[in-house]
Amino acid sequence: MKKVFGRIYILIIMMFLYLPILTLIVLSFNKAKSMSVWKGFSLKWYEELFSSRIMMGAIANTFSIAILAALIATIVGTLAVLGMAAMKQKTENVLMAFNNIPMLNADIVTGIALMLFFLMIGAPRGYCTILFSHATFCIPYVILSVKPRLNKHTDSLFEAALDLGASERYAFRKIVIPELKPGIMSGFLLSFTMSVDDFIITYFTRGAGINTISTLIYSQVKVGIRPSLFALSTIIFVVALVVLITVNLRQSRQEAAMAR
């Protein structure tokens, strides 16, 4: 009986999560603009998506900023972890406390603070200010992802490599980087996801004439969302689903190979 209720509960949760997405996917193929009337299957909105200069520009801005911001945040965050590891424990704890503040802070406070900073230094708001802002708020998450990977075990392996005659640069490349790699990858992917998803900080730090997907959707809400945005959301969902399935299949094959 418990198993039956458990399965029903999981089914309800899955329906709650995925029915809206399924509805969005169906509407992206609706010939009509209406969300309540089905007038036949059509790829009209996908054609409009790829022919719209504004939407393609927003897509290019969103993903280029996300990749660059994640890359910058990953490099800076990893170097920060290595730097803190060489400090005294008390100093490291203080820095980690400061690192946690931006994550606990409200996004609107961070967005307004960054906007005022750019106004104070006279920097024109645009692509570069969004990139700087995204890299800034992603760095603390990279630090939290990478720091647990750098422990006494890593220090011992590094010192053992030096004792065996390896240079510091060689030992760092062959010992420390492989140890940190899972944390670096997770920090990069988390930063990329948060940058793509961000709206509030982008809204306050962007200039006129530049849009990301989130700000474009916000601007269209005022006049009515076009179904071409449903098409865009469908493509993003399908790509993310394919990547997730591919990664899981690859991991399952690796685990099976190790078991053999």
Q: What is the pLDDT of residues 153-199, one digit of tens each?
A: 666 776 777 767 777 777 777 777 778 888 899 899 999 999 998 89
Looking at residue 163, its pLDDT comes to 67
Q: How far apart are CA 223 and CA 148, in angstroms?
A: 47
At 253, list the tokens: 């094959």
Q: How far apart are CA 175 and CA 155, in angstroms?
A: 9
pLDDT band (50, 70, 90) for residue 70: very high
Q: Cα dist. 96→65, 77, 87, 105, 179 in Å?
A: 26, 12, 12, 15, 21
41 backbone dihedrals φ, ψ, rounded to 5°: -75, 135
Domain extents for the chain?
56-249
At 9, list the tokens: 């509960």
SS3 41: strand
**How confident is the model over 229-247, as pLDDT tens digits?**
888 888 888 888 888 888 7
Looking at residue 72, its pLDDT comes to 95
Say yes or no to pLDDT of 139 above 90.
Answer: yes
Class of domain 56-249: mainly alpha
Task: Identify whether the C-beta of residue 146 lies closer than 8 Å to the C-beta of residue 187.
Answer: yes
The predicted model scores a pTM of: 0.83
